[in-house]
C-alpha cells in the first residue's frame, strides 16, 4: 500500500497503471519463482567500502561530474528534481549556486555517500531473504564459483 503523502510513489503507480492497465499492487504481488534461485551478494568491510566510494567520487570529478551538473543547471533542470537529488548532484548544484565551496560540497557528498552505505547495510540485514554473501576482500573469484557450484549440487 502506498501512503497518499508519498507523491513520488503515487505518481509512479499512476504511470505504471497508465502504461500497463494493471494496478501496481497486482504487479508487486509476491509469487514463488518457477525455478530455484540463489542471490549472491558481494560485500567488504565498511571502511574499505567508504575508501572506494571516496575514490569513485574523485574519478567522477576527473571525468567531468561538475561540468555535467553545471550543464544540467544551465539547461534549466532544478536541483529539486528527483534525478538531481542523487548522491553528489544536489551538493555540486549547491556549490555552483554559491551555497558551498567546492571542498564543502565534496565533503557533504562524502558524508551523504557514507550514510547511504550504512543505510544499505542496515536494509540488507533486515531483508536478507537468503542472500549468499561473499566478502570480496577475503574470497577470490574461484572461491565464489566453488560456493555457487556447491549450492547447485544441493
**For the chain, what are the domain ranges?**
1-31, 32-152
CB 95 within 8 A of CB 104: yes
Backbone angles phi, psi at 113, to 5 degrees: -65, -45
Which helix H or strand E contains 13, and what residues bound it? helix 7-20
Residue 55: alpha-carbon gap to chain centroid: 17
Domain 32-152 falls in which CATH fold? Helix Hairpins (1.10.287)
Mean pLDDT (whole number) for 92-102: 98
pLDDT in tens, 12-51: 999 999 999 999 999 888 888 788 888 888 899 999 999 9
Residue 129: per-residue pLDDT: 74
Which own/partner contact pairs does 45-48 have at CB distance under 8 Å and 24+ positions apart? Answer: 45/135, 45/137, 46/117, 46/118, 46/121, 48/137
Amino acid at each position: 500500500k502506498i501512503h497518499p503523502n508519498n507523491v513520488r510513489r503515487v505518481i509512479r503507480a499512476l504511470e505504471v497503471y497508465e502504461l500497463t492497465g494493471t494496478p501496481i499492487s497486482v504487479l508487486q504481488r509476491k509469487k514463488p519463482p518457477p525455478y530455484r534461485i540463489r542471490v549472491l551478494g558481494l560485500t567488504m568491510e565498511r571502511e574499505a567500502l567508504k575508501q572506494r566510494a571516496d575514490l569513485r567520487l574523485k574519478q567522477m570529478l576527473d571525468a567531468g561530474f561538475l561540468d555535467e551538473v553545471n550543464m544540467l543547471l544551465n539547461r534549466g533542470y532544478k536541483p529539486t528534481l528527483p534525478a538531481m537529488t542523487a548522491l553528489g548532484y544536489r551538493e555540486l548544484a549547491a556549490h555552483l549556486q554559491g551555497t558551498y565551496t567546492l571542498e564543502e560540497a565534496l565533503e557533504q557528498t562524502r558524508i551523504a555517500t557514507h550514510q547511504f552505505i550504512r543505510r544499505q547495510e542496515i536494509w540488507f540485514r533486515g531483508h536478507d531473504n537468503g542472500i549468499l554473501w561473499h566478502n570480496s576482500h577475503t574470497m577470490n573469484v574461484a572461491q565464489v564459483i566453488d560456493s555457487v557450484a556447491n549450492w547447485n549440487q544441493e
